[in-house]
Amino acid sequence: MKPYKEWSEEQLVKEYQSLLEQFEEVKAGGLSLDMSRGKPSAAQVEISRGLLDVLTSTSDLTENGLDCCNYGYLDGIPEAKELIADIVEVEPENVIIYGNSSLNVMYDQISRSWSHGVMGHTPWCRQEKVKFLCPVPGYDRHFAITEWFGIEMINIPLNDDGPDMDLVEKYVNNDPTVKGIWCVPKYSNPTGTSYSDETVRRMAALKPAAPDFRLYWDNAYNVHHLYDDRQDEILEILHCCEEAGNPDMVYKFFSTSKITFPGSGIAALIASKANLEDVRRQLRIQTIGYDKLNMLRHVRFFRDEVGVREHMKKHAAFLRPKFEIVLSTLEREIRDLEIGTWIRPRGGYFVSFNSLPGCAKAIVARAKEAGLVLTGAGATYPYGKDPEDSNIRIAPSYPTEEELIHAMKVFVLAVKLVSIEKILALAV
């Protein structure tokens, strides 16, 4: 099939009328599906039910002499540190175990820096200007945190191998008001991009103009592979920073929220010993400790890093066919028409779709007419402003395969209709 841009006006009008009829038929199907967030499906969540059985009222609630049902161990039980350390390829002394949410840990790091500063440096709230670099398209909740604190956000294009490092180096190495960069280095949200070895090494070798600059390294999808035989691997950032002479330049975040129960997992901050001691000073005021019984549950359920990886294969078995539905539909219905582009990810939770410029909001609105709720257009950019109005995040994890097939019919019809409207408008 020829690209739409090569069709005559008459052909496009005829196609548009046919698509509109199809769209009305699909609307009559009564779809009501929210795909706005990357939620695990109900069936996925079921595979973690065994976590609830490892502790009962008769269980031994001690681990190597530590009483997990009493006070103590502010920064997590040693066994949980060892489990997370193995997963993220660091030493246990580089790990603090928190509660259920890595997003909460990231918020705390920004809040702590804002109110009390980083390792003795002037609190951000007392500095005239604070800026953050934001690879785009990116994670809306990252951007929401920095926006909440009034931090100026700067778009950095996300390429196939990671952020545009020429721009990153320009800002970080020359502007002392740049205090951090949001990073999802593996299976990025939403593109599925993983940082190349060169990108990670260049990140680690930055020479920040600001002494309180940090990499905010959200390794949310560290073990979220879709395929056994095609998996992205990235260099471990703490080790790279140490080798580059910047041991304190990174905060790394991780959680089990999409490994076990969303909202009921364990989260971790991974950083240098000096950074962690700086954090502990506030933790001693903030809390008497996080849920050690939940930490113990996770340790006994998984036993070790191998147990986690075996568990993730079960998740992949649910996710893989859904990603294939999305990608095969786009390949079949959109590619030859040249009205959209996307990346085929090897892991993570999203497919990032780029429409013709100026079409994303209209596509999302059109899909909603037929009962399909997508992530809001612009959400993958700071302040919700996509300068091209083209990026749409598709989250295939929650619906059943049957629902997803129906949803993708709605989506491609919306893309085609809005694209023809755009092309005809330009032709006028």
Q: What is the CATH number of the domain that holds 289?
A: 3.40.640.10
Q: What is residue 153's three-state secondary structure? A: strand
CA gap 172, 158 in Å, rounded:
16
For residues 292 and 328, membership in a common domain is answered with no
Q: How far apart are CA 49 and CA 14, in angstroms?
A: 53
Sequence-ordered strand ranges (E) for 306-345:
340-342
Q: Which whole number is the average pLDDT over 381-389?
A: 98
Q: Angle CA(380)–CA(344)–CA(408) in degrees, nearest 5?
A: 75
Given 303, 337, 363, the domain boundary residue is 303
Token representation of residue 255: 């959680």
End-to-end CA distance of the chain: 24
Asked whether 110 and 146 are in contact (CB, 8 A), the reply is yes
Residues 263, 393 within the same domain: no
Residue 54 located in a structural domain: no
The one-letter code for the residue type at 33 is: L
pLDDT at 427 over 80: no
Looking at residue 35, what is its pLDDT? Answer: 95
Among 303, 332, 360, residue at a domain's last position: 303
pLDDT in tens, 148-197: 999 999 999 999 999 999 999 999 999 999 999 999 999 999 999 999 99
Cβ atoms of residues 407 and 397 within 8 Å: no
Residue 286's pLDDT band (cuts 50, 70, 90): very high
Q: Is the pLDDT of residue 414 over 90?
A: yes
Q: Which of 26-35, 131-140, 294-303, 360-369 has the lowest mean pLDDT?
A: 26-35
The pLDDT confidence band at residue 30, using thresholds 50, 70 and 90, is confident
CA angle 129, 130, 135 (to 5 degrees): 140
The residue ranges of DSSP E strands in 29-111, in sequence order, are: 33-35, 62-63, 66-67, 95-97
Residue 321 and residue 223 share a domain: no
Q: How many domains does the chain have?
A: 2
Q: 18 and 162 share a domain?
A: no
Amino acid residing at 50: G
**C-alpha angle 250-256-259 in degrees, rounded to nearest 5:** 135
CA distance 299 to 114: 34
219: domain range?
61-303
Domain shared by 177 and 297, yes or no:
yes
Confidence at residue 428, expressed as pLDDT on a 0 to 100 scale: 46
pLDDT at residue 63, as a whole number: 84
Q: Is the dihedral of CA 263, 266, 271, 276 positive or negative?
A: positive
User: What Cα–Cα distance (Å) separates residue 333 from each residue in 19, 26, 220, 327, 354?
Assistant: 12, 16, 31, 10, 15
